[in-house]
Chain A
Amino acid sequence: MTGNAAAAWGARLADVDYMPAFPITPQTEIVETLGHWREAGEIQTHVVMMESEHSAVAAAGAAALTGVRVFTATSSQGLLYAMEMLYTVAGWRAPFVLVNVSRGIAAPITLEPDHQDVLAARDSGFLQIHCGSVQEILDSILLAHRWSEHPTVRLPAIVNLDGFHLSFTREPVEVPDSAAVSRFLPPFDAGEASFRASKPVSRAVAVLGGAPYSYFRYQMHRASEAALAVHETIAVEFQRMCGRHWGLIDVYRAEDAEVVFFLVGSFATKAREAVDHLRAAGIAAGLVRPRILRPYPREAIRQALAGKRAVAVLDQNVSMGQGGILHSELAAALYGWSEAPKVLASFIGGLGGRDVTLEEFGEMARETLRAADEGSESPRRLLYTAQELREVRKLQGIAIAEREDISKEQM
């Protein structure tokens, strides 16, 4: 099935009560699929079409606080349009799952994938799971509901999948048995603070002064940090249910690697292939892919990178004027640590659907190792080929010629 179908199946198996939704490419198929199942009576989810993502997230958070299991999905501009409410509902400590099918952000407008959208939500308080395969999408949605609703955590969760590369790509998927899922994920227990006539409660009230404000913000931060250990427990239970283990990070042939690729999302598939090629050519390469980006799995990442010579970070995002977000976060996690890799190279690529080829992975590894050999500064590169530049120059040429033609006609 496709990544979008797997996301819909995740919500179906999680037996979600409520889905406020709004369409946006490349996510639309997810809410459509759930809508069709609802119409056919195959699921009991109440589906409501909202007028914006801002409202969809508001309704999702409010419903979660009232005590039902909630799922929604969006992409790109939609996630940004909802941004105020992402921060707000995380502050409400409203547990629910939002699938983001990641897509580049305007301007220029594009439908194709990168991670600029989901990383814009990085600091909102949402937990973040980044999927590398279609199976992982379905499984992660089940894990995310359980994780988000856990009494220690009580934070909403984003499950991210790459537009096109995962949303529209078919892979074989094992669908867990629904009876087993309902044992793993029993009905949502919202606890005491739901809205009930017998138990009036005020939520999200104003605070005066920095002391109460800081207290509640620190509580969120602590809850997010504590979610790391909770995830490990849940992952073990999930493995017991269906045999698959999803850790905080995914490690491929990194144990004895000299150079390690570090990235999130579906390019991991390509990175694995590159690792195999490089190893066949005598270069000890490996891959570390964080699955969980919030909370940041610092210790797990350190363990996987301890004593490695060099790391090549691939960022499908740009923090304008600063660089790759994964790169700077990894640098912060490793700084001052005696076992930190000496070279931490930054490569930005895969923006707006741009491919990162096997050759480029190879070149990234070689350049990163070269810096380690020579003791030179860590490379910082924007991936772009001479061919691509030629293509864009051609487009620019057409644009200029057309404009000149039109202005001549108007004269």
Chain B
Amino acid sequence: MSEARFRRMNDLPSTHLLGGGTAMCAGCGGLQAIQEIYDVLGPRTIFVNAAGCMTLLSIYPFTPFRGSWLYTAMACAPAGSQGVRDALDILLRKGRIGPEEDLAVVTLAGDGASYGMGLSATSAAIDRGLDFLYICYDNEGYGNTGQQTSAATPFAAATATNDPPSGNPQAKKDLFAIWVANRPTYVATAIAAEPLDLARKVEKASAMKGPRLLLILAPCPTGWGFEPGDLVEIGRLAVSTGVFPLKEWEAGATIHTKIRRPRVPVEEYLKRQGRFQHLFTPRRQEPVLSKIQRQVDEYWSRGE
């Protein structure tokens, strides 16, 4: 299979593999992305999950997955993935299972685990060249516990631990760059609101071996403060404003897979979300807004 499988929206799978009725919030950008990813990956997979929102996907005795699942803990989903991958390889090598029983190993983790507690285990799995696909659903905060600030929370966003009018004083950590510095096989960003771009990247990643990251921006209605029905629009704005660049890295080069010219002003993205309302009311925080716009502009001025 090649990435050419998905040329147009019509090429995307029309029936969906992931079952419904999960405990996720309405309008969850993470769940939407996992649904789209699962359609491409298929059921010959094992999802090794880290503590986070998606832990609640599988609640005894139900699961939305047609393949396998293992819940580990917050810090060690890549290590759990290592155990499964190594064991499958041992069984294959010793002829105790046939290749038809093999599974693709997928680590599933939120930004809390991916940017913080699980980063050591992630980095070490990349060091070892583990053959796994890492999906980070990044909702920019500890979402499962009520959106406290994480290392993925953007500057100025109000969270459960950083109130308005200042919000989060830190900048969002660049996980993409951290992965790239670790020299894996493939690193990509994607978002559910751009399903064709996402499907191409999943297809490409799943044909590769070694450590691969899909860093998914997961707009979160409850944590970010928007109506569940606005999920796709918020996601599109994240891309069209340039706040969330869609890109991929392989073999030493980063390529942007979707470039919007001219970019929509960042304000359009911010003002749709409760977590940034303090930048507009009761009075406009012009210096903060222009700082955010400047940071986005600077990113893109470094070369597309």
Bound-state Cα–Cα, A46 to B68, Å: 24
B interface list, Cβ under 8 A from A: 43-44, 46, 48, 55-56, 58-60, 63, 65-73, 75-76, 78-84, 86-91, 94, 96-97, 100-103, 120-121, 123-124, 127-128
Residues of B within 8 A of A196 (CB): 97, 101, 103
Which of A26-34, A47-55, A307-315 is found at the contact surface with chain B? A47-55
Which residues A396-410 have CB closer than 8 A to chain B? Answer: none
Which residues A184-214 have CB closer than 8 A to chain B? Answer: 195-198, 200-208, 212
- Mark each residue of chain A from 15 to 52: 1 if its CB lies under 8 Å from any CB of chain B, else 0: 00110100000000000000000000000101010111
| B63 and A62 form a contact (CB under 8 A) | no
Task: For B56, give its contact among A44, A56, A202, A206 (CB under 8 Å).
Answer: A206
CB distance from B76 to the nearest CB of A (A): 4
Instruction: Say yes or no: is A63 at the interface (Cβ < 8 Å to chain B).
Output: yes
CB distance from A60 to the nearest CB of B (A): 6
Task: For B101, give its contact among A44, A88, A197 (CB under 8 Å).
Answer: A197
Residues of A within 8 A of B46 (CB): 195
| B71 and A203 form a contact (CB under 8 A) | yes
Bound-state Cα–Cα, A203 to B72, Å: 9
Bound-state Cα–Cα, A68 to B70, Å: 16
| B59 and A195 form a contact (CB under 8 A) | no
Residues of A within 8 A of B123 (CB): 51
Instruction: Say yes or no: is A59 at the interface (Cβ < 8 Å to chain B).
Output: yes
Residues of A within 8 A of B78 (CB): 55
Task: For B124, give its contact among A50, A205, A206, A208 (CB under 8 Å).
Answer: A50
Chain B: CB-nearest residue to A59:
B83
Bound-state Cα–Cα, A292 to B58, Å: 36
Bound-state Cα–Cα, A52 to B80, Å: 12
| B124 and A203 form a contact (CB under 8 A) | no
| A62 and B80 form a contact (CB under 8 A) | yes
Instruction: Say yes or no: is A14 at the interface (Cβ < 8 Å to chain B).
Output: no
Chain A: CB-nearest residue to B49:
A204
| A206 and B82 form a contact (CB under 8 A) | no
| B120 and A51 form a contact (CB under 8 A) | yes
Whether A204 contacts B90 in the complex (CB less than 8 A), given A50-B82, A58-B83, comes out as: no
Bound-state Cα–Cα, A65 to B121, Å: 20
Bound-state Cα–Cα, A85 to B128, Å: 21
| A85 and B60 form a contact (CB under 8 A) | no
Interface of A is mostly: mixed
| B68 and A207 form a contact (CB under 8 A) | no
Instruction: Say yes or no: is A329 at the interface (Cβ < 8 Å to chain B).
Output: no
| A88 and B84 form a contact (CB under 8 A) | no
Task: For A206, give its contact among B44, B71, B87 (CB under 8 Å).
Answer: B71
The 7 A-B residue pairs whose C-beta atoms are closest, nearest first, are A62-B83, A55-B79, A66-B87, A51-B124, A59-B83, A63-B83, A63-B87
17 contacts between A and B (CB under 8 A): A20-B82, A50-B124, A54-B121, A55-B75, A55-B121, A58-B80, A59-B86, A62-B48, A64-B83, A84-B73, A88-B72, A195-B88, A197-B101, A201-B68, A202-B58, A205-B59, A208-B59
Residues of B within 8 A of A20 (CB): 79, 82-83, 86
Chain A: CB-nearest residue to B56:
A206
Instruction: Say yes or no: is A67 at the interface (Cβ < 8 Å to chain B).
Output: yes
- Given contact pairs A65-B83, A67-B87, A68-B87, enumerate 17 new A-B contacts (beta carbons under 8 Å): A18-B86, A20-B83, A48-B86, A52-B121, A58-B73, A59-B86, A62-B79, A62-B83, A66-B83, A195-B68, A196-B101, A200-B65, A200-B67, A201-B68, A202-B58, A206-B55, A207-B59
| B120 and A205 form a contact (CB under 8 A) | no
CB distance from B115 to the nearest CB of A (A): 17
Residues of A within 8 A of B103 (CB): 195-197
Bound-state Cα–Cα, A232 to B160, Å: 55
Whether A66 contacts B73 in the complex (CB less than 8 A), given A55-B79, A206-B59, comes out as: no
Bound-state Cα–Cα, A56 to B120, Å: 13
